[in-house]
Chain A
Amino acid sequence: EELKFASFTPPFHTINASVIEKLNADLSAATNGDLTVRGYHGGELGAGPAEQYIRVLQGAADMSWGLPGYTSSQFGKTMISELPGAIPEDMPGYEALWRAYDKHLSQEFPGTKPLALWTSEPNIFIMRNKVIRTPADLAGLKIRVAGTTAAEVAKALGATPVQMPASQIYNAMQTGLIDGVITGASTLTDFKLDEVADALTLGAPLGRLAFYTVLNRGTYDGLSKDQKAALDAASGAGLSKSAEDAWLETATAALKIARADSANKVIELTDAEKASFAEAVSGVVEAYVDSVDGAATQAAMQGK
């Protein structure tokens, strides 16, 4: 049996080797080629990253990956993992997510079996013509945001949050429509932002992005006992770690390229500078956790 994995990104994207091909290799090996995975890239099985979860739930694809942030209303508690400082900086995001999954997050994934849950590299400031060292440097700057919490973070820092599709960021930065974005370093290569950005600020607590890979529940229930066992073994923390490590690697590589380019200013904040950002955004984190009644979820993520 061949399982269809729908992806909205091109085949060279980080997801392919770390999740799609890995799943295919592990399942093929464990079932002697009885169960395989085939990737459909670039939105071949349907356009729009916001529809990824529905696509699996309705069975247009057996599996898919996506960002809870695109449909944040569905993932109220999962989104806590994206908040600045919600998970300690040195703690892997996938560990935090899986720790909270059974008790707190599973109801946000109806009709599917999550195969992997992970988070990205930390968000940074990716700017053009503006250098950020303190929250005051952001006053009045137009910053592209993806969702509610990011918008609140930008506002708390004194910036003007601007909503726009990811595909338009490049052009908007080039013309000065926005001064920058708050997102992970991997977008430097994924969305070609390295061509238009010239100042990066690392180390501010700006949160990170969360991701999921899910399998249609009916597809899973229809598998043989051996196939299910193979799938259980190939998914979960191991697959999530593979994805998270790959994301971090992509980000590290993108940052290395950015540092090598003398046209770029790369700023590493000191601990004191970090603290001023942390203080500015702390209210946002508390307000969000309260709004989703997520104190226990956050504690579970932190392993408390």
Chain B
Amino acid sequence: MLSVIRKLADGLIALSAAIGALGLIVEVIILLADVIGRAFGAPIYGSQDMITMTMVIVVFGAMALCDREGGHISVDLFERSYPALLNRLIDIFSAVLGAVIFVGIAYAVNESAKLSVMLNLSTNLLRLPKAWFQNGLSIFALLTAAGMALRAIELTLSGRDIRKGDTAKGDTA
């Protein structure tokens, strides 16, 4: 059961990161086209609108994968001097805390998105609705939270730390 959920989660996490990576390539293209166009007197209209909104996808797209691969940094100065049980408890606590925080981010940003709709907020030149990107951020954050919650369950039930698996590049020292 748990392994089925893990497979599904990993699929979604990979998809979400792919969207982020695509966003990054798009950023490069927009900025380059803007710089070149400007040199010839024809910059891209609303380039800053596109760049800043795409940035949201770039920053949050791989957030879940970042956690999956153990990318979120902690101060590991005393890790080796703690007993194994304490380390496991800390890992579980951190995963739960992370899930709570990301649900909080998703909820808070979603509340703001409702206000953005009410206030008709959009980017200044291209009129891209702010709520789209806020909702996108919320979805990425929820996926991150789900990944963290799943990790907490795995750590509790089976002691398996997905971050230290074969594909993980996390700190195994």
In this complex, the interface size class of chain A, counting residues with CB under 8 Å from chain B, is: 20 to 34
B38 at interface (Cβ–Cβ under 8 A)?
yes
Q: A151–B119 contact, CB under 8 A?
A: no
> How many B residues, CB 8 Å from partner?
21
Task: Give Cα distance in the complex from A53 to B42, angstroms.
Answer: 33
Q: B124–A72 contact, CB under 8 A?
A: yes
Q: A58–B120 contact, CB under 8 A?
A: no
Q: B122–A73 contact, CB under 8 A?
A: yes
User: Considering the complex, which residues of chain A in the window 34-74 have a beta carbon less than 8 Å from any beta carbon of chain B?
Assistant: 53-54, 57-58, 69-74
Task: Give Cα distance in the complex from A164 to B47, angstroms.
Answer: 9
User: Considering the complex, which residues of chain B in the window 121-159 have a beta carbon less than 8 Å from any beta carbon of chain A?
Assistant: 121-122, 124-125, 127
Q: B119–A160 contact, CB under 8 A?
A: no
Interface-lining segment among A9-17, A139-147, A206-214: A139-147
Task: Give Cα distance in the complex from A69 to B123, angstroms.
Answer: 11
Task: Give Cα distance in the complex from A146 to B46, angstroms.
Answer: 11
Q: Render B69-86 as a binary contact track against A, CB cut-off 8 A, 1 for contact.
A: 000000000000000000
Q: B125–A147 contact, CB under 8 A?
A: yes
B54 at interface (Cβ–Cβ under 8 A)?
no
- Do A110 and B124 contact each other (CB < 8 Å), given the known contacts A58-B112, A162-B43, A163-B48? no
CB distance from A105 to the nearest CB of B (A): 14
- State which of A53, A57, A110, A160 has its C-beta within 8 Å of the C-beta of B43: A160
User: Considering the complex, which residues of chain B in the window 40-63 have a beta carbon less than 8 Å from any beta carbon of chain A?
Assistant: 41-43, 45-49
Contacts of A151 in B (CB 8 A): 45, 125
- Chain A interfacial positions (CB closer than 8 Å to B): 53-54, 57-58, 69-74, 76, 110, 140, 142, 146-148, 151, 160-165
- Chain B interfacial positions (CB closer than 8 Å to A): 38, 41-43, 45-49, 111-112, 115-116, 118-122, 124-125, 127
The 8 closest A-B pairs by CB, nearest first: A163-B48, A73-B122, A74-B119, A147-B124, A73-B120, A160-B41, A140-B41, A71-B121
